[in-house]
Chain A
Amino acid sequence: DAKTTQPTSMDCAEGRAANLPCNHSTISGNEYVYWYRQIHSQGPQYIIHGLKNNETNEMASLIITEDRKSSTLILPHATLRDTAVYYCIVPTSGTYKYIFGTGTRLKVLA
C-alpha cells in the first residue's frame, strides 16, 4: 500500500495558488517525497522531489514540514492546463519501488 494520504479531489481558481497536501506520517529519515502528475490519460509527469529542505523548480514548490510527516505541493499560479491527478509518493527505503496510490484530482476553474 502507498505510504501517503492525499485528499481525493480539490478545486482551485485559475491564477490562484494551488496547495496540494500529502500526509506521510510513517516516513523514515532517508526517504524522499516525490510528486508526479497525470493529465488526462497521458503518462505521468515528474514535478519535484525533496528530502527535508523546501524545494522549488520551474513547475512548483515543495514544502516539507520540519518533522517530515507531511508536505505540500504548491503551484503558484494555477492554469487550466494544471488540471490533473497529482500523486505524492514516498518510496520505502531500499525497495526501488514507486507506489502511486490514488492521488488528488485537481480541477482548475476558469
Chain B
Amino acid sequence: NAGVTQTPKFQVLKTGQSMTLQCAQDMNHEYMSWYRQDPGMGLRLIHYSVGAGITDQGEVPNGYNVSRSTTEDFPLRLLSAAPSQTSVYFCASSYKWGYEQYFGPGTRLTVT
C-alpha cells in the first residue's frame, strides 16, 4: 500500500489564483479529512468526508471546497488564493470514523 499520498509537495500561488490539492489513499478507507497547519500552531480541520458522496465542514472551511466522488480521492480546491492561506496542508484517512487516522506527508503552500 502507498498509504496516503498528497500532491504537490510544494506550491507557490499568486493572490487570486485557484488550484486543487490532491489527496489519495489506497486502503479503502471511508473517512478522509483535510487539515491546515500554520507555523507554530496546531492542526485545524478544514473539511471531512465519512464516505463517497458525503462531505461536511470542519473548523475553517471558508475559501475551500471539497468533493468525494470516489472512495480513494479527496481533492481540496482553493477558490481564490489569499496570503492567509499560506500554510501546510495535511490529508488524512481512516478505515471508518473513530479508527486510527493515517496522515499524508503534507503540501506546503505559499500565497504571495
Q: CB < 8 Å: which of B33, B42, B58, B100 contacts A87? A: B42
Residues of B within 8 A of A (CB-CB), count: 26
* B40, closest chain A residue (CB): A102
The CA-CA distance from A45 to B48 in the complex, in Å, is 18
* B43, closest chain A residue (CB): A100
Give B32-57 as 1s and 0s: 1 = Cβ < 8 Å from A's Cβ atoms.
01010000011111001010000010
Instruction: Given contact pairs A42-B106, A96-B56, A98-B33, enumerate 14 new A-B contacts (beta carbons under 8 Å).
Output: A32-B98, A38-B43, A43-B103, A43-B104, A43-B106, A44-B101, A96-B50, A97-B58, A97-B59, A99-B59, A100-B42, A100-B44, A102-B42, A103-B42
Chain A contacts to B: CB under 8 angstroms? 32, 36, 38, 41-46, 49, 85, 87, 91, 96-103
